[in-house]
Each structure stands twice: as C-alpha cells, then as structure tokens.
Amino acid sequence: MVAAFGVTAFATGVGPRPGGAVWDVLYDVVVYHVPWVAAAAACWLTARRAPREALAWRALATTLTVGAVGNVARIIETGSAGTTPSAVGDTCVAVAYASLYVALFVLIRARVTRFLPSMWLDGVVGALGTTAVGTGFLLGPYMTDAANVSVLQLAWPAADVLLLALVVGVGAIVGVHLDRTLLLAGASVALFCVADVALFALSAAGRYSDGGPLELIWLAGVLCAAIAAQRTTGDPQPRDADQGVRITWRLVALPLAGTLAALVVLAAGYGDDLPDSAGWLAVGCVLAALARTAVTFSEVRSFTVVRQEARTDELTGLPNRRALLERARAVVAGASTASPAALLLLDLDGFKEVNDSLGHGAGDQLLCQVGPRLAPALRPGEVLARLGGDEFAVLLPDVDLDAAAERAGIVHDLLRQPFEVDGIRLHVGVSIGVSTAPVPADDVQELLRCADVAMYAAKTERTGVHVYVPDPNSGSGERLRTMEELRTALVSDQLDVHLQPQVAMDDGRVVGVEALLRWHHPERGLLSPAHVLPAAEQAGLLRPLTDTVLERSLDAVAQWWDEHRVPVSVNLSAANVADIDLPGKVAAKLARRGLPAAALTLELVEDTLMADPERGRCVLGELRRLGVRTSIDDYGTGYSSLAYLRRLPADELKLDRSLTADVDVDERAAAIVRHTVALAHDLGLSLVAEGVEDVATARRLAALGCDVAQGYAVARPMPVEDLLHWLSAERSGLLRSV
C-alpha cells in the first residue's frame, strides 16, 4: 500500500517539475525511496510468515535496503544517480546483486524437493540462451575498441545479464505456472536488470538524466517485490520432481525460447558482427538443448515402463486394480441403456487349501494359469485383471445383463477344469458376481459394490454365478454398510448382551445363563446375532466381537455372583479357539472382576473345533485346567465325530433345537436324543437341551435323561437388569412340575 502510494507520488514528478534544489531532494531522495523502504519492510515481515523461505525474503529486503542506500550515497557523493563511480554506491550494488542471487536460490529450493537432470539442463539452456543474447546484442556493441568503454563500466551490466539469465534459468527449472510469488519476484528482478542495462546504455551515450521515466522501471520492480511479499501467506507446497515426466509446454517453453535465442545469435554472428563469447555461449546452449532432448527421450521411456509396471500385476502379468479402475471409469462413463457394460467379479473357491497343502509357490502357479485359461474367452476391448489375492475381475463393454450372465457361465466352466500344478491335477471352484452399468450401477464404485454383493451371494449359496438384481427385501445391498457400522459399534458402546436362563430338569434350579449378543443400532433398533454375525464374519471382526461379548458377560455375572452362584455361557468363534493366548486372557478378565473360573462357561460349535482339532484341544485343555467349563454347542448339526468327541476336553454337550423340537411327537428324534444322552453320560458330560419351548417337550426331554433345559419354556433372553429381578423372584418353577 505504502509502496504503491510512493510510486504514484513519484510518477507525478516525472517530466516537467518545479525547479530548485528542494524539489530535487524531495523527489530524487525522499519520494523515490519511500517505495524501496516500504517494500523492504514488507519482505522482512514476510520472513516470519514463511519460515522455509525466510532467508529469501530477508535477502530480498537486504537488496532493497542497500539499493536505496546506494542510490542516496551516489547522489550525495556525485550529485547523480547514474553510473558515475561512487565507492559506497558500488559497494551497495555488489551486496544487492549477491542478495538477489541468494533470494532466487532459496525461492526455488523451497518449491522443488529434488532436481532431475532434465531440470538442471532446462536451467542451463535458459541461462545460456539469455546470456548469449545479452552478450551479443546488449553488451556486444560496447565490447569493441571503438566503444571507448572500460571493463569496470561493463562489470555491472554484465552482472545484470547474468542475473537475468539466472531468472530465466529458474523459470526454466520450475516451468511456466501460476506460482504468483515466484512470478512476481522474478518479474521484480527482471525489471531491475532491464533498468540497469538501459541506464548503462543511456549513460554510455551521454543521454541519461535523473528523474526521468527510467526510474519508473526500477520502481515497478520494487512494487512487484512488495506485492509478492504481501501475497505470501505461508510456506509453499513443495513439488516432487518425480510427479511426472517434464514434457508439457509449460515446462519446455523457456528452454525452447532459450534455444531459439541461441540460434538467432549464431545466425546474426555469422559475419563476425557479434563477440566471440556470444557465439560460444550460443553453441553451449544448443549443445545443452541436445542433451536435454536425449534426457527427455530417456525419461519418457522410463516413465512408460514405470507406468506400465504400476498398472500390471507383478505375479500374473495381468492388469491390476488401478488399470481396471481407469478403464472401468471410461467404460461406465460411456455406458447407456442402449449400450450397457458389465463387470464379472471372480473369487476362487478352495484356493486357501491349495496354499496350505502345497505351499504358496503352488498357489502362485495356479494364479498365473488363470489369465491364459480365460484369454480365449475374451473379446477385443475386454479386460481381465487381478484385484489381489485370489480375486479377479472381467470388464465387459457393450454387454447387457443376459449376455454377461452367459459369459460368466463360460468363465465358470473354464475355471472348473483341472489345473496342472507341480505335476498334480487340481480342481478349484469359482464364485462369480455379475453387475451392470448404468443400471443399477451408475459409477465404478457402485459397479464394484454390486458385483461384490453378487459374488458373496454366489459363494454363500454355492451357485457359482449370481447376477446382481436390486431387491429391497433381500438386504444384500446393506451388507457392506452393516460391516462398516459394526466397526463403529465395537468402539461406541452399541453392543450389549441379553441373558437366557438354563434350569436343571430334576428340580428347576437355575444352573446357568447364556449370553446372547444384541446390537442397539441407532437407526434399525435392537438387532439379533442373525443380523450381526454374517457381517462380522465377512469383515473379519469375529474375534473383537467375541471379546466384547465376553467383557459384557463377565460384567453382568459380577453383579449377581455374590448372591446367586449362576455361571454365564459365552460362545467362542474359530478365531478365538485358535488363539493360544486365550486361557491367559480369560484368567486376566476373571481376576480383574474378582470372579472364580467357575463363573464362566465357554461354548464352541463342532465346526469350529474341527477347523484345527489339535490346537482346539490344547486351548480347551488349558481352560479346563483353569477351572473354566467348556461346552460343545449345536451338537448334532456339524461333523459329530465320535472319535474326536472321545478325546475332547469338554464338560457338556448342548443338543441343537433341530433335534429337540419334535421329540414329543417323533420317536426317531426321541431315539437320537436318548442315545445321545447315554453317550454324554458315559463320557462324563452333562447334556443341555436347547429350544425347549413348551411343557410337553420339557417333560419328554426329562424322561429321556436330559440334565438341563434352555428355551422359552424357561424364559426368553432378557437384559441384565431384568435377569436380576428374575433371579430374585425365583420364577423358575415352570419345570419343577415336570
């Protein structure tokens, strides 16, 4: 603001002005130097706002300050601000030049974190081209014997030419872009150089006079510096030299201009009209430009290789997820109801068993055969990509839903054929989800989501191929959202347990409660495990979910243990059973609440046990040594391996409700229960009957020898507070009459 006011005030005195020494001092010393001082102050203050550029702004402030001091000293010593020799003035000019070099270097260093060879060559080309033009056309006429100009007089304009060359070189390195700070700072330095060279030329011709229009060029440079300082609000964002190959016009404009300038100098100097130094500088510029061309070709070739590698799966050589997404965006953008597109999402079934049985090397060989196997089924323009692991995708442009389903069937049949791996014929299955655009998916992410939902349905239903069709009643579209919401629920106290009592068949006393997960969803209300467990399994959250249920259950049992010695049963997932640290964790949780091991029973299903029998038996054995009871849940629905049951360290069996539901009317079901009870008792296990919904069923199960009943005939699952009232009221007499 002050600098602009000073420039305006000085401009009013350019040309005819009132005479006298007072007016000369007012304009040439006071008014003229107000913008210099104001701009220097602005640069110094900017150094505080931009720590990484602080040295540059202080150097620029130094340039403006000593420049003003030099001008005043020259006027005082010689009575002129021109090129008349002055000891103080020449010293100040030397300091100003050095400060400008520092400012330019720091400004570019703050913007470029690392310099490529091409960037250095761009700067060399721009600087040499500018120096060749300056030496040939600006300084050349004064470098001859007839010019009668001393070497000392040529020193400052030569320094100006080098400084201007540095400005062009800096611009060539960072490219032509809208960095306002660097643009204004460069313009400021360029205006200083132009004014200095013009001053030299006018002084050599004897035509310079103080207070003329030439001073406005210096002031314009000062004003640019002040504006640059004012507009700088903080440190710039550094640009990484590796962000891309430097081949756009913005990056080659100045080097190209420098090369053309060098060619002009060579052409003009053909008849020895220019100094030899200008010609050699021009030759150096052309050679640097040739080297820059060679580097450009090398960079383009390297960039092409890197770009290809970044879009290619390293193992299979197929396009990767990034390549698929790029192609899918273009395909989906051009899809219409008349010309739809489709995506097949493939997930190999049984691939984990290949890795576990034959090793990861065999698994990699199998994955490498997927591409060649499916290549004959692909048409031009279609893309087969590996998304990761054993998941692949096929993008089908211009394919409708029916055709996509047909193509999915072909792909399914091809992958069902045996693979040859290390001399072994392997059969693996595949689950394929099919989705289309623009209906129902109108963008790439939605297309992938729909295909993922369909693929999960194909895997769950074991259909091989499933086509995504929006169905508001199916709820499949909510699965991904439920998974993400469950992650939030685990850390936001939305999960709780309801407890269902278990009573002894002989006297109706309460012998335990089972903890059942409940999710207090903020929008969908109270959700049962049927809504939670599938999403938790798909998201890999079963272990933290079970840990949460265990914590809530132990908190609950701690509330009644002193008055009612009723243990709580908690279901374990396969991930928990495989955790060899589980016994130690359980012991720590019990100790934290002051509970004995008898307060807890851990339940696990047969399928979970059979996933890793040896580790499961080891973990259960450690739990029993702690005194924690263990129970086999849903007995009769899984493997029901009697050989494994013989070695299993368990305390009780829980008969699944599918075996107990019709026991009072189905003699075959009654026979199974009778013999299962005998087996459990012979093995020293107690037997809990689930799904006891009425008195008739309870009486029949008691007659068959079952020890404990659990079901609606006893009580429904209830919150902890309700269970406390239920225990105090001893309302378990329903089965006392059995």
pLDDT along the chain (738 residues), means of 10: 68 57 67 84 87 86 86 70 64 81 77 66 72 70 59 64 70 61 79 77 69 76 85 66 46 68 70 69 76 69 64 89 90 88 92 83 92 92 92 94 92 91 85 91 88 86 84 52 80 89 90 92 81 74 87 93 92 76 89 93 74 71 88 69 67 84 83 89 90 88 91 90 85 48
What was the pLDDT predicted at 243?
Answer: 45
Inside any domain, residue 738: no
- What is the reported pTM? 0.44
| E strands, 478-628, in order | 495-504, 510-521, 525-527, 568-571, 600-605
Whether 292 contacts 122, CB under 8 Å: yes
What is the rounded CA–CA span in Å between residue 196 and residue 193? 5
CA nearest neighbour of 95 among 60, 46, 47, 139 = 60
How confident is the model at residue 364, as a pLDDT?
92
Are 486 and 420 contained in the same domain?
A: no
Q: What is the pLDDT of residue 374?
A: 94
Instruction: Note whether residue 495 is domain-resident.
Output: yes
How many domains would you assign to the chain?
Answer: 4
Query: Which of 470, 501, 527 finishes a domain?
Result: 470
CB–CB of 203/82 below 8 Å?
yes
Full residue range of the structural domain in which residue 721 is found:
480-732
Judgement on whether residues 403 and 526 belong to the same structural domain of the protein: no
Q: Do 521 and 635 fall within a single domain?
A: yes
Question: What confidence score (pLDDT) does residue 161 get?
Answer: 72
Closest CA to 218 of 253, 183, 193, 244: 193
Supply the angle between the helices 180-204 and 151-174 in degrees, to the nearest 10. 160
Domain identity same for 572 and 518: yes
The domain spanning residue 582 has which CATH number?
3.20.20.450
Q: Would 547 be classed as within a structural domain?
A: yes
Question: Are residues 523 and 661 both part of a single domain?
Answer: yes
Asked whether the CA dihedral 506, 510, 515, 520 is positive or negative, the reply is positive
- Whether residues 283 and 332 share a domain: the answer is no
The verdict on whether omega for the bond into residue 340 sits within 30 degrees of 0, i.e. cis, is: no
How far is the C-alpha of 224 from the C-alpha of 189, rounded, in Å? 9
> What local confidence, expressed as pLDDT, does residue 150 receive?
58
Domain co-membership, 222 together with 269: no
Please list the residues that pair with 510 across neighbouring strands: 503
- 467-499 per-residue burial string, b: 16 or more CB within 10 A, e: under 16: bbeeeeeeebeebbebbebbeebeeeebbbbbb
Do 486 and 623 belong together in one domain?
A: yes
274 and 334 co-located in one domain: no
Do 229 and 254 belong together in one domain?
A: no
* Same domain, residue pair 548 and 679: yes
